[in-house]
Amino acid sequence: MMMTDFTGQYTWLQTEHELSFRKLIEGSEYQEELKYDFNIKGELKHLDTNESFVFNYYKNAHERNHKRYQVLGHFITKYVYELLERVCMLQKVYIPTDATEDEPRSFFFMSKNALTSSSSLIVLLQDHGVFCAGQWGLRTIVSEGLEHGTQIPFIQMALQSHGGVVVLNPNDNFVDLKTEKETLSFSTREESLTSTQSVWWIPKRGSSSPKEHTMYVWDHFISKSAAKNVAFVAHGYGGLVFVDLLVQRKYEVMNKVYSVAFINSMHNTQHQTRSDLQIQEWIQKYCREWVSNSKPLDKVVGSLVKVNCPTVSAGTEKYGLAPSCCLHAIFKYLKSTLKAKTAFRHSPVATRSSTSKKRGNK
């Protein structure tokens, strides 16, 4: 079932009974410690008190409370994945494409015809952290709700206005050798917290870092897509990752990407581009950044660091709310830049011969 307006009432959460966050927790050993569910507005509330999530569930036990929060994040990640596949109708694509049967794999999501359609394509690139594909921030989902913390409103708008979307998964870099039960256990036994167990991580080939993941998806999918017009929406560390991609795949990216919307980006134009004036000019012309600021939405914000990137206010001072607050402004910007590029591409180019003909016809 496809929702039509994520910013309105969340009727799809009422009608889509099979997609219940609560059902993921029920039957597990955490159903009492995590007695929460998302309401019709997409807010995480306690089933009995209707209160927001409380971190300090156990008194004077920070480690145990932190583990409980990690478990909540695990269930939220599973829930968001279900929403991406069954509500947004996205496909999960496993990488590397040549992985062996027993090899650890990562994955990302994309719309059904993202690679074959000639319509424009939007790529979502998130900040670094413990959260996975489809999330701008786990803490924002917990405190503010699905509308503000997930990428679903961006996905819906991308599908409606541009046709295709790719949702990257840059933070899915390693496999924990411990079993899921051990990883998510509330136990505070001394042996479960030893450093020898915490170092058993296996990197996923092609996705061992956000930069490698993004590069792999670009090389094997986005660069080969039929779409001639690709745009990126990059949040936080995702902005740094995109600029790295731009430097590493300079001409490919410059030819295929028509615009980039940065949100509180961590990129550094001068440092990353190594004084490449061509790349710096491209960033200045085709990129815009929205930053957390007290000024109204879209008002110019001065920046001494990223002089080559026009910067405007996201309309909020809260870092976690920046993506949702500037959602419509970003798509308005992407629409205008795409229109400008399309108009330029189809505008007639004056030549000497055509000019001579015109003069001769006068």
Q: 179-217, pLDDT tens digit by residue?
A: 444 444 444 333 333 344 445 788 999 999 999 999 999
pLDDT band at 178 (very low <50, low <70, confident <90, very high): low
Among residues 22, 6, 152, 173, the alpha carbon closest in space to that of 90 is found at 152
Residue type at position 219: D
pTM for the whole structure: 0.86
- Identity at 147, one-letter amino acid code: E
Q: Rg of the Cα trace of the chain?
A: 23
Q: Give dist(CA 280, CA 306) in Å, integer.
A: 10
Split at pLDDT 50, 70, 90, the class of 249 is very high
Q: Give the span between the Cα atoms of 205 and 208, in whole angstroms.
A: 6
333, 309 contact by CB (below 8 A)? no
Percentage of the chain surpassing pLDDT 70?
A: 82
- Please check the confidence at residue 291 and state whether its pLDDT lies above 60: yes
Q: Cis bond leading into 210, ω under 30°?
A: no
Tokens of 283: 């960033």
**For the chain, how many residues are written?**
362
72-96, pLDDT tens digit by residue? 999 999 999 999 999 999 999 999 9
More confident residue, 212 or 304: 212
88-361 topology per CATH: Rossmann fold (3.40.50)
Q: Are strands 121-125 and 230-235 parallel, antiparallel or unpaired?
A: parallel
The pLDDT value recorded for residue 271 is 87
End-to-end CA separation in angstroms for the chain:
61
pLDDT tens digits for range 91-113: 999 999 999 998 999 999 999 99
Single-letter residue type at 284: Q
What average pLDDT does the segment 61-78 reach?
A: 93
Q: For residue 233, which of 312, 127, 305, 149 has the smallest C-alpha distance?
A: 127
